[in-house]
Structure 1
Amino acid sequence: MTAVDKSSEKNFPNEVKLLDAIYEDIIEAVHNEPDMNDIESMRLYIENSYRIFNRTIFRVVEIKNSLTKNEKLDSSTWNPPA
């Protein structure tokens, strides 16, 4: 890599940590599938799934805000030549 490539490369350690946490939650939810014949375990599975979905939504919004907080909005207009 040249010096130009290194300066243009971005590193997002906080975002990667949040994405890893989301991944772990989703894997945990998938692997904890209950016995379909046990109503109580199904109820707990559904409650835990909703909790994980809500936490995932919060983390995704947090990642989005983190990525866009330093981004300057482009308020220029495009005026084509006459």
Structure 2
Amino acid sequence: MANTPQSKKRARQNERRNDINKARRSRIRTFLRKVEEAIASGDAGVAKAALEAAQPELARGITKGVLHKNTVARKMSRLSSRVKALSN
């Protein structure tokens, strides 16, 4: 349990940040799920649009510290190759 005033404040801040980061992760997962569903449906146009909408959200996840940059790079690479395969 937090004893010092500083540790009590940090505990409060961590609680707030956790809620914010949870919402950000959820938002990112929603965008990724839309891309996955578009790929599963086989519609290349919708999948491409969903991927373009997901890219800035993933990039924002990096800048906000929610996701690691290599994780985002891997996800983007794999999704974009799958979307590209749909159009061929």
Question: 1:17-73 deviations in whole A, cap 9, x for unaligned?
Answer: 321122212220232121452221111121022111112122218xxxxxxxxxxxx
Aligned ranges 1:50-61 → 2 under 5 Å: 50-60=55-65
Q: Please point out which of 18, 36, 48 is paired with 2:53.
A: 48
C-alpha distance in structure 1 between counterparts of 2:51 and 2:43, whole Å: 12
Report the TM-score, using the length of structure 1 for normalisation. Answer: 0.51
Please, which runs of 5 or more residues in structure 2 have no aligned partner?
67-88
Instruction: From the CA coordinates, give the structure whose radius of gyration is larger.
Output: 1
Shift of 1:6: 3.1
Of Structure 1 and Structure 2, the greater helix share is in 2
- Runs of 4 or more consecutive aligned structure 1 residues displaced over 2 Å after TM superposition: 8-11
TM-score w.r.t. length of structure 2: 0.49
CA RMSD of aligned residues (A): 2.4
Asked if structure 1 preserves the Cα contact closer than 8 Å seen for 2:31 and 2:54, the reply is: yes
Instruction: Indicate if the aligned counterparts of 2:28 and 2:57 stay in contact, CA closer than 8 A.
Output: yes
Aligned equivalent of 2:77: none
Structure 2 match to 1:17: 19
User: Residue 18 of structure 1 contacts residue 59 of structure 1 at CA under 8 Å; is this kept in 2?
Assistant: no
| Matches of 1:60 and 1:6, distance apart in 2 | 25
- Which secondary structure state, in structure 1, belongs to the residue aligned with residue 62 of structure 2? helix
Residue 6 of structure 1, aligned match among 2, 5, 19: 2
